């Protein structure tokens, strides 16, 4: 197949269908209508004279020609994203958009006032904050910076270990320590805590699970039971008391991460310096 026959929009459409396995899923990825994807695919197949996808019970499955075109689209996507990252590094003044992803607990317990300070210091930088418990794909520019607790940051990212997050068991004030357990739902992806609760024999006692740390804190505040929570968050929370020492097996490093192509970008460097130093002060104090 002559790769020059396909325009970039065509390649993006094929790539989206291959990844989503359906026209509706591809439409969501491309932020266009289902009808637009259907029309583009039909026009491509007619122009190229080949069938790109088999339609069946499993959805849209690439034919050999579709696989060829998908591979081409993936190579072009990698090149285009690399150009975007390199161009983003050619800033001359602290301006533009900075997209940061972090967790709900870090945002509420540490980052909100630090982000305010960053905004006041660099008003021409637009800060976009994505609250998620999943590590966004920085290679694909889903975010520029990730602030995450993790013992093993991804090898393809660079960054700075800010310090250690201590954790302990907390319960509602005035209710003692013999309380039901509140744990993480599997969608939270909190494997370290799940392993600890299983090893301590309390996982089976847990009849209340929440898919966010802020939700676990709220459940403790409501008097529903005890839970392991980050000390930086729970120590300042009303109606909550620490009922165990800091749990050394659950101590986790806090990282500020970015893609190697972005680390020399002016707005990224300024963010890493100000936010990194401020976080370090907060964790130490």
Output the pLDDT for position 5.
Answer: 43
Q: For residues 102 and 104, what is the distance between their CA atoms, to the nearest angstrom?
A: 7
Report residue 154's pLDDT band, with 50, 70 and 90 as the boundaries.
confident
Lowest mean pLDDT among 148-152, 178-182, 207-211: 148-152
Out of 3.40.190.10, 3.90.420.10, 3.20.20.150, 1.10.1040.10, which CATH number does the structure's domain 96-165+252-284 have? 3.40.190.10
CATH fold, domain 3-88, is Arc Repressor Mutant, subunit A (1.10.10)
Lowest mean pLDDT among 50-54, 93-97, 229-233: 93-97
Distances (CA, A) of 101 to 104, 145, 239: 10, 6, 29
The residues, any chain, with a CB within 8 Å of residue 242's CB and separated by 6 or more, are: 168, 169, 170, 231, 234, 235
Q: For residues 52 and 63, what is the distance between their CA atoms, to the nearest angstrom?
A: 5
pLDDT of 240 above 90: yes
Output the pLDDT for position 107.
Answer: 94
Q: CATH assignment of 167-250?
A: 3.40.190.10
Model confidence over 31-81: pLDDT tens digits?
Answer: 889 998 999 898 888 888 899 999 888 889 999 998 988 888 888 887 777
- Across the range 4-31, mean pLDDT stands at 83
Number of residues that this document lists for the chain: 285
Q: For residues 182 and 50, what is the distance between their CA atoms, to the nearest angstrom?
A: 56
Our measurement of the distance from residue 51's CA atom to the centroid of its chain's CA atoms, rounded to an integer in Å, reads: 36
Contact 65, 16 (CB under 8 A): no
The residues, any chain, with a CB within 8 Å of residue 149's CB and separated by 6 or more, are: 103, 106, 165, 230, 252, 253, 254, 255
Q: For residues 144 and 84, what is the distance between their CA atoms, to the nearest angstrom?
A: 12
Output the pLDDT for position 242.
Answer: 95
Report residue 8's pLDDT band, with 50, 70 and 90 as the boundaries.
confident
In 179-265, which ranges are continuous DSSP H helix?
A: 191-199, 213-221, 231-234
Question: Two tokens at 36?
Answer: 């637009």
pLDDT of 13 above 70: yes
Model confidence over 242-276: pLDDT tens digits?
Answer: 999 999 999 999 999 988 888 778 888 899 999 98
User: Mean pLDDT score of the chain, rounded to an integer?
Assistant: 86
Q: Bigger pLDDT: 285 or 277?
A: 277
Which residue intervals of the chain bear CATH 1.10.10.10?
Answer: 3-88
- How many other β-carbons are positioned within 10 Å of the β-carbon of residue 110? 25
- For residue 98, the surrounding DSSP H or E stretch is strand 96-102
> How do the residues of the chain divide into helix, strand and coil, expressed in percent and rounded to 5?
45, 25, 30
Q: By percentage, how much of the chain surpasses pLDDT 90?
A: 48
Which residue intervals of the chain bear CATH 3.40.190.10?
Answer: 96-165+252-284, 167-250
Distances (CA, A) of 163 to 107, 130, 158: 16, 22, 16
């Amino acid at each position: 197949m002559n790769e020059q026959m396909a325009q970039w929009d065509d390649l993006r459409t094929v790539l989206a269908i291959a990844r989503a396995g359906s026209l509706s899923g591809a439409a969501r990825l491309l932020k266009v209508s289902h009808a637009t994807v259907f029309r583009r695919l039909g026009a491509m197949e007619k122009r190229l004279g080949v069938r790109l996808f088999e339609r069946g019970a499993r959805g849209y499955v690439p034919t050999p020609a579709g696989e060829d075109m998908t591979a081409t689209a993936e190579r072009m996507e990698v090149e285009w994203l690399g150009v975007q990252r390199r161009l983003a590094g050619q800033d001359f003044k602290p301006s533009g958009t900075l997209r940061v992803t972090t967790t709900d607990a870090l945002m509420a317990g540490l980052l909100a006032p630090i982000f305010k300070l960053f905004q006041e210091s660099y008003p021409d930088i637009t800060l976009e904050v994505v609250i998620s418990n999943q590590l966004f794909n920085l290679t694909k520019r889903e975010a520029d910076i990730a602030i995450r607790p993790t013992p093993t940051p991804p090898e393809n990212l660079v960054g700075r270990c800010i310090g250690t997050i201590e954790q302990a068991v907390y319960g509602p004030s005035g209710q003692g320590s013999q309380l039901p357990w509140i744990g993480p739902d599997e969608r939270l992806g909190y494997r370290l805590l799940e392993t600890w609760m299983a090893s301590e024999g309390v996982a089976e006692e847990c009849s209340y699970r929440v898919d966010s740390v802020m939700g676990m804190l709220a459940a403790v505040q409501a008097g529903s039971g005890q839970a392991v929570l980050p000390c930086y968050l729970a120590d300042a929370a009303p109606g909550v008391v620490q009922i165990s020492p800091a749990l050394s097996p659950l101590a986790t490093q806090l990282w500020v991460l970015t893609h190697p192509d972005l680390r020399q970008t002016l707005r990224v460097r300024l963010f890493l310096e100000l936010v990194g130093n401020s976080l370090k002060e907060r964790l130490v104090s």
